[in-house]
Structure 1
Amino acid sequence: MREPGAFAGVLVGLALILLTDSERGLPVYLAIYNLFVFLFYLHHLSSVAWPPMPAPGTLFPALEHRDVGRWQAAEYCREHGVRGVIVLFLRGSYCADSRHQLSQLYTLLEDLQRQNVGLVLWSVQSEDRWPHHLLAPNTSQVIFQVRQLAQPVPALFAASNAAPLILHPWIKDAARPSAWLLDAEGYILWRELPATYRMPTTVATLRNQLFRLQE
């Protein structure tokens, strides 16, 4: 969310230096170096490494909730009386893109209720680490909370030591941001595995995939 402004600031600074430093000295090289570092972060350090993931048409694996224990999509659908469920993995509360995605999910709740589809959110952090104003009240089939994966984190959906280095004294792992649409039996109808954690699945994309439950 902050990157467009930061990128514009870097380019403006580089332009000012190029216009004012007629000798093309050290300031120019420092500005270009900083721009290179910034672009390297955007396009490389934010990438997500994906192990072999469950494919559409296969059964979604069971997950371990830190407090409740084993979670299975089919049991969730039977318990809540829904005909399918969207499963989202959020990188972390420290990630601006994860918080933005969470705030945008408000606009999807009405569609989920109308089409009788559940929503389950996962992270490696507990719910109290997420801003409370981003968590909506529970509805009949949508429990709007961020569930915490049990330790050790599952390699498919979370990466060890993937959190920012500055946070390692408190948290080291990060969930791989992904989106899954499952039917009432827990089979995968659709998935999205973003190339970078800066581009999580949009609400519009999730809404457009709900038709798969009618096939």
Structure 2
Amino acid sequence: MPDRSIRLVVPIVVISGVAAAATGAELLYGRPATPPAAAAPAPGEPAAAEERAARTLGLVRVDYRLTRLPQHASNQLAVWIEDEDGGYVRTLFATSYTANGGYVRRPMSLPLWREKASWETATEAEVQSASRPAQESGPHSLYWDGTDRNGRPVPAGTYVYRVEGNLLWENRVLFTGTITLGEAADSSVARAEYLPEAARAEGEMVADVRAAFLPGEPLDPSAVTTYTRGS
């Protein structure tokens, strides 16, 4: 198992208050008014996001409202995509503590996401593309351009989006919704499950989880600014 407990600082891209990984630029984080663009990959990496977008079905936007909880062993979050059969497709967001090896010290942190993504064997590029500092309270949106973890466009069909949050130690909330990618627009609202049911008493960390598919919508190439994330 790779040891992710200590990692070098890696660059990410910030676009009008939205962060995206320089190595996984098709995933956008924050609260954008319109879908922003991403940085071009280094030589030898897959085609730039704007070139791949022509071969993908469009964009999926996942929205949610976050309320940071005033307690330790909390506020860990992961958002990812699965296919209709439950096969892992891609991680859109994972708080940096867990994504960079915090699960070694705190095995109860985001266990379903880690199992689905086989995160202990994730590549360095995949870790860098998904790992982000914990978000502030408020509404957030993530964009998925319809590619899998290897940057390949996914086929038309129904996909599952999941949001897992640690409320306190092993107490978690899991939101699950489906979205159909094809020629027509689609939208849905996710349902919440508390694990265990008594976890409801630990606070409402995540709410109002929903998704929308924007057919044929590409990422908009624009200027970006490099930002170095912290812990």
Q: Normalising by the residue count of structure 2, what TM-score does the alignment of the two structures yield?
A: 0.28
- Structure holding more helix per residue: 1
Task: Say which structure, 1 or 2, has more relative contact order (CA 8 Å, 6+ apart).
Answer: 2
Pick the structure with greater CA Rg: 1
- Structure holding more strand per residue: 2
